[in-house]
Chain A
Amino acid sequence: MTIGTEFIWILIGTALVTLLPRVLPLSILSRVQMPSILLKYLRHIPVAVMAALLAQALLTSEEGFIPIQDNPRLLALLPTLAAALWSRSLLTTVIVGVLSMMLIRQFFG
Chain B
Amino acid sequence: MLAKSLRVFLLEEMKLLLHQSPQPALATGEPLQELSFRRGVIDCIPTLLGYLSIGFACGVVGKTAGLSVIEIALLSLFLYAGSAQFIVAGMIAAGSPAIPIIVTILFVNLRHLLMSAAMVPFFRQYSLWKNVGLGAQLTDETFGVAIGKLQENQKHADRWMLGLNMTAHANWIAANVAGAIMGAWIMDPQAFGLDYALPAMFVGLLVMQVGSRNPLRTDLIVAACSIGVFIGLAHYISGSIAMIVAAVLAAGLGVLIEHDNRD
Closest B residue to A17 by beta carbon equals: B106
Partner of A55, one of B113, B119, B205, B226: B226
- Are B214's CB and A44's CB within 8 A? yes
Known: A17-B109, A18-B81. A9 touches B98 (CB 8 A): yes
- Within the assembled complex, what's the spacing in Å between the Cα atoms of A34 and B134? 20
Interface residues of A in 1-57 (CB under 8 A from B): 1-4, 6-7, 9-11, 13-15, 17-19, 21-27, 29-31, 34, 37, 39-57
Closest A residue to B101 by beta carbon equals: A10
Residues of A within 8 A of B (CB): 1-4, 6-7, 9-11, 13-15, 17-19, 21-27, 29-31, 34, 37, 39-60, 62, 64-65, 73, 76-77, 80-81, 84-85, 88-105
- Are A84's CB and B230's CB within 8 A? no
Partner of B46, one of A2, A15, A43, A89: A89
Q: Name 20 extra pairs, CB < 8 A, besides A25-B113, A43-B214, A56-B242.
A: A3-B68, A22-B135, A27-B135, A42-B118, A44-B218, A45-B115, A45-B117, A46-B118, A50-B202, A52-B227, A54-B203, A60-B234, A73-B196, A90-B46, A90-B208, A91-B45, A96-B200, A97-B203, A98-B194, A102-B192
Interface residues of B in 132-155 (CB under 8 A from A): 132, 134-138, 140, 143-145, 147-148
Partner of B126, one of A30, A52, A103: A30
Q: Could you tell me the dominant secondary structure of chain A's interface residues? A: helix
Chosen A-B contacts, 16 in total, with CB atoms closer than 8 Å, are A3-B70, A6-B98, A18-B79, A18-B80, A31-B128, A41-B254, A42-B117, A45-B251, A47-B250, A51-B247, A52-B244, A84-B203, A88-B22, A93-B203, A94-B201, A101-B193
